[in-house]
Structure 1
Amino acid sequence: MPYQKDRLANNTSTPLHGIKILVAEDHVFNQEIITDILENAGAAVCIAQNGMEALNLMKQKPFDCVLLDVQMPVMDGFQTIERIRADPTLAMTPVIAMTASASNEDRCRCLSAGMNDFIEKPFEPARLHHMITGLTQITVTHALPRAAKKPIDLSVLTNWIGDDKIKLQKFTGSFLDSAHLDLIEINAALEIKDFVALTTLAHHISSPARMVGASDFYELSKQLEITSRTICDTGVAHNLISQMHVALEQIAEIVSQELA
């Protein structure tokens, strides 16, 4: 199925303007509801009837985000995410699991399988919009292209704790200290090719990075988590870890300059 027409202008009522989303959902009624929610927010939507069809579509064209129903015929969501994360050309695509239950067991299973996030059906449109924009890191205004991102955007942390320089220094310092320690453990895990530990450590380091607005570092840590869980390639892991060290140095430099 081709992309649906992007009908709405890029303004505050269309937070997903320009975002290409693949929805893997087998129920026609759910397809229609989800498509309406996404198109009303400005997204371009493509529908897959099952996991196999979703994989084929992902290999044909790029998507900014995938909404993946957990229970589908032919190939379910868990089988699909396993194949997505195992394919180097698809592995970094943000994937949100759509579930009928939000139990702790379901949450853990979704995240452990490699989903970036999960949402329970039926869901609030605003919550889904926020989730998608957070994962794709596309803002309403599109003020900065991705290539122009700073190593750390302190406004993200400011939104959480307010414009308090002392607190900003405290929390960025805490992040840098913990990230340095985590990288030491990550290096040690790589030395012995412990990909289970690498997966856990990369996941552990990613959440604080996102909280402080260190988007590049966050993306690298998620890549490390996914590749450690799926392809277990020491060369790929070493390259990602090297980039994480560089990114952390850049973050420290920005923090030093802006919070001096």
Structure 2
Amino acid sequence: MYKNIFCARILLVENNLLNQEIAVEFLENAGATVCVAQNGAEAIDLLRKDHFDCVLMDIQMPVMDGFEATRLIRADAALAETPVIAMTASSSNEYRERCIAAGFNDFISKPFRPDMLYTTLARWLEARPQQMPFSVITPTSTIDTAWAGDPNIIDLSVPAELIGGNKLEMREFALKFLTSARYDLTKIESALKRNDLSALGTLGHHNRAPAIMVGAMGFANLCQALELGKDSVNMDQARDIVSQMRPLLDRINEQIDKDLA
């Protein structure tokens, strides 16, 4: 139970629409007021115009990334004391150390869960002056095995645990993932035509966490292969990875239609 901490104003800096929607829902369910920025430059602009109790900052974003934005926050006397929490799918100790060196206060790994998000925020918001009381109770995790499926396609027990077992809400969540993934797949295919391994790596990183959140581990693994392969994969290997993506999304769509109709 977390008391008197979630009536806060939180700035969410995240350019993945599905991640945005999930984080905003979790935070607003806990009583927070949430403002969203698409990149670090937007975040700096909003912070200089308004007060926020905490910033949840993605790392890899266009225009200005989370590292540079956080350095600017720490260099501004009016903003320097604002808690800034990194949100990233890269969870190695080396990456954590890089985040702390850049000025982040803490670290949340993607895909994030409500209890992990609330617990981390509690550490940085509980010292604020008292607000109107609000409590969040995070229940013990209970996986509904009735939804279990093939994680290489989609394991619906994952979103069932994350957002609850309401079939309509699960279908909406899964279809939002598909829409986002198909939109980015056009960018991936375009980067492939340009032989741009760097862009492929960035797009792979961008899509990996949402795929994990929806239980599509096969697609997440393909995204990770692109992300990690920007320094080690040749173009023939990249073409093989990308060639598997659209057929897999079609299979995920078929499974959603079958199980969540």
Normalised by the length of structure 2, the TM-score is: 0.48
Choose between structure 1 and 2 for higher RCO, CA contacts under 8 A separated by at least 6 residues: 2
Normalised by the length of structure 1, the TM-score is: 0.48
